[in-house]
């Protein structure tokens, strides 16, 4: 992901994985991935799995100290500029107490 980010001279990239690789089968998808660009569709098969690289210049127009990062993601989505990189690894996304308890039994 890091190599791709620098090779393509990007200002953002999110690590995503197909939702069927998640331990928690109840997760809905966050995005669709098409040629390393993320989109929001009616049906989304990719999940953001917690790793991202964002250039500090993306924050320069924001005066708030605290805000959800999805604000920046949504601006990039509108411009078709939110980049994604696919992970093919299984992942454990701890979403609730029930999932936590299942993970304890592994």
Quick one: pLDDT at residue 97?
79
| pLDDT in single tens digits along all 106 residues of the chain | 999 999 999 999 999 999 999 877 878 899 999 999 999 999 999 999 999 999 999 999 888 778 889 999 999 999 999 999 999 998 877 777 777 777 777 6
The CATH number of the domain where 6 resides is what? Answer: 3.90.550.10
pTM: 0.86
Helix (H, G, I), strand (E, B) or coil at 67: coil
Per the listing, tokens 């924050």 go with 59
Domain that holds residue 26: 2-104
Q: What's the CA gap between 66 and 49, in Å, rounded?
A: 21
């Amino acid at each position: 992901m890091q190599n791709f980010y620098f090779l393509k001279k990007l200002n953002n990239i999110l690590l995503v994985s197909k939702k069927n690789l998640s331990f928690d089968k109840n997760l809905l998808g966050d995005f669709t991935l098409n040629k390393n660009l993320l989109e929001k569709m009616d049906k989304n098969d990719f999940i953001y799995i917690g790793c991202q690289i964002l250039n500090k210049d993306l924050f320069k127009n924001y005066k708030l100290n605290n805000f959800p990062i999805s604000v920046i993601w949504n601006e990039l989505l509108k411009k078709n500029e939110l980049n994604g990189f696919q992970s093919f690894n299984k992942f454990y996304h701890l979403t609730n107490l029930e999932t936590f308890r299942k993970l304890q039994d592994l």
